[in-house]
Structure formats: C-alpha cells, structure tokens
A = this chain, B = another copy of it.
Amino acid sequence: MKRIISIRSYGVKLGSTGNRFVITGKGVDKQTIPALDISEIILYGKAINITTSAILLAIKNQIPIFFMNRYGRPYSMISPIVASGTISTKRAQYSALNDRRGFELARAFIYGKMKNQERLLRLRANSERYDRAVQIRMYADNIAKLADSLLNIEYDGHYNETRAKIMRLEAEAARDNYWKGFALLLPDGFIFEKREHRHARDPVNILLNYGYGFLLTRVINAIIISGLDIHAGFLHADRAGRESLALDLIEEFRQPVVDITILKMLRLKELKRDEILEVDDSNNVRLSKGTLHKVINSLKERLEHRSDMYSIEDRIVEQARDVARFLRGEITEYKPFII
C-alpha cells in the first residue's frame, strides 16, 4: 500500500536523493522513502521547505503535491505542465455544461449524498438510546423523502432553475435534518450547533474541515487522472474558477469517508476533547499536530479498507472515470457511490 507524505512541522525540509524522498529538520528523525512507495504529498502550514529536486521527483512519479491552508483545505497544487489524458474528455465535459447530461450528474451527486446521509444516520441510530434513536430515524426518514423529491425533478431545459431546485433540496436535507441527527450522535461534551467552514472554532467543525480538505485532494486527483477539468462543474457551476467539479464529486463521499470516520474516532475516544485543537502564533485555532496525524491515518485506513474487491479510494477513481464515460456517451447513466 502506498504512503502519503504529510508534513506539518515548522522547519522541516523535503528533499530528494536519487529516486528517494528525504525528510529532515530539527526534532525530526531523518527519513528516506522511495518515490515508488508514495501516492501523495501534503504540506500543511507555512514553514516547510521543499527542494526543486523533490518537486521534479514527484512529477516524474506522478505524485501530486498539495499545499493546505490553516483550515486544512488545499489552496494550491504542483502540477506537471504536461496534463494527463486526451482533450476529448474535457471537450465532452465542456459541451455538457448546462445540458441534460450536466443536470443528470448534478442530481446524481446530491442523490448519492442524501442516501449516504440517510444510511449513516440509520446505521448509527441502532446504537443509541430509544428516544434518541427515534429522533435520529425521523431525520433519516425526512432525508429519504427529500431524495425521492429529487428524483422527481424533471429537466425542462432551464439549467439554472433546475439546479437551484436541487440545491434547495440539498440544503433542506443537510441543514434541517442531517446535521441535527449528526449532532445527536456526538458523545457528551461535544456541542455542534451548525456546520461552519472557514471560521469555525469548535473541534467538530474543524475536524470535518480538515477531513474534507484531505478528501478533496483525493477527489481532485481522481478527476485529473480521468482527464476531466476540475474547474468545470455541473452542480457548483456558478462558482466560476473554483474547483467546481471536485466540489461536485466530493458530495457522495463526504459521509462514507469523513463523517463516519470522525464520528467513530470521537465515539471511541480516540480523540480527547482537550487535545484536538491548538492555538497558533497568530491566535488562530487549528487542529493540533497529533490530532492531524491521527485523523489523516484514520481517513487513509478508511479509504484503503477493502470490504469487497474495491477500496473506497479505488471507487473515487472509478466514479470520476464514470463521470468521464458518461460525458463521452460511453455509458447512459451515472450511478453515484452509495454505502
């Protein structure tokens, strides 16, 4: 199984010698790792050095390097100037913007997300006290109904209006049902009022943000491998210039990869409430280094675990390829990944 190089510590240097990466720095044991063993490099924070030879080695081995901001979200990546795949896939992608294929993909992504929200709540409700379980199942039932409504949306040629309908149902499922059910599943001592992105200061939101940021690097990767353009999305189509297609495809993987893992870690007390966060020099709240490594390792395990032939990691690539196949007309339906 390939490894991820994930570096957070101040002053650490990532270099290379021959076909190996070399990690050095004060307070760090020197590590030498063959490039063949690495799938991805993730650099968190501001004070890490990387050499041009390490960048060249990564590019030669098609290892993406992601730079993550202090919210745990990728803000940049190093890409080879030579892109993978042919332009015919991107061409199909662009021609599908605002047509029925785009609509069907947008709906499928959110349908997958809703079904996964529903299933996560039902699954976890079983281990809850009776009254709480009833309430959680009620949220799951509501989401199931919203998923049905989603399938009833017809495409009438007005792309943006139809997309807005999908987004409204999505918001209702998430805000009014899923996250309320999710809050009930948290162990005592964790308060979760609502999902917050950038300026979250509570442990659960910050854990989710880092988790989604990590997952996003995998989704971006899968999209690039499939020859698609990460910037031309179908659901998040209005966010010009954003990594819209990655934000589309991530939807069906949020619950099965991140939420389920974070919830498990909190419920099993793998993360201790007072040790999750730390305050950096600029008084920003962020994930502590120890927690970051635990979370990334757990997410990596989750991604690589094989229940049948395929790991979820394989499935992310497979789903991205299905998006490409659907756009090129090689398959007639795109089926989202559902747990």
Contact = CB atoms under 8 A, between A and B. Distances in A.
Nearest to A48: B52
Nearest to A46: B53
A251 B166 CA distance: 46
Contacts of A230: 81
Which of A13, A94, A240, A244 counts the most B-chain CB atoms under 10 A from its CB?
A94
A76 B81 contact: yes
Q: Number of contact residues on A: which range applies? A: 35 or more
A76 B50 contact: no
Nearest to A92: B94
A257 B67 CA distance: 35
B90 A94 contact: yes
A241 B56 contact: no
A6 interface: no
Please report whether the interface of chain A is mostly helix, strand, loop or mixed according to DSSP: mixed
Interface string A32-56: 0000000000010111111111011
Nearest to A86: B240
A85 interface: yes
A84 B242 CA distance: 9
A242 to B, nearest CB: 6
A230 B55 CA distance: 21
A76 B55 contact: yes
Given A46-B51, A52-B47, A67-B56, A82 B229 contact: no
Interface string A303-336: 0000000000000000000000000000000000
Number of copies: 2
Contact of A75 (B50, B59, B83, B86): B59
Contacts of A81: 74-77, 220, 230, 243
A237 to B, nearest CB: 8
A77 B76 CA distance: 11
Nearest to A227: B241
Interface in A73-110: 74-87, 90-91, 93-95, 97
A232 interface: yes
Interface string A154-191: 00000000000000000000000000000000000000
Contact of A51 (B49, B52, B53, B97): B49
12 contacts: A13-B49, A45-B52, A47-B53, A50-B50, A50-B52, A55-B76, A56-B69, A76-B80, A81-B230, A82-B242, A87-B97, A87-B231
Interface of A: 13, 43, 45-53, 55-56, 59, 67, 69, 74-87, 90-91, 93-95, 97, 220, 229-232, 237, 240-244
Nearest first, the 3 A-B pairs at minimum CB distance are A46-B53, A94-B94, A86-B240
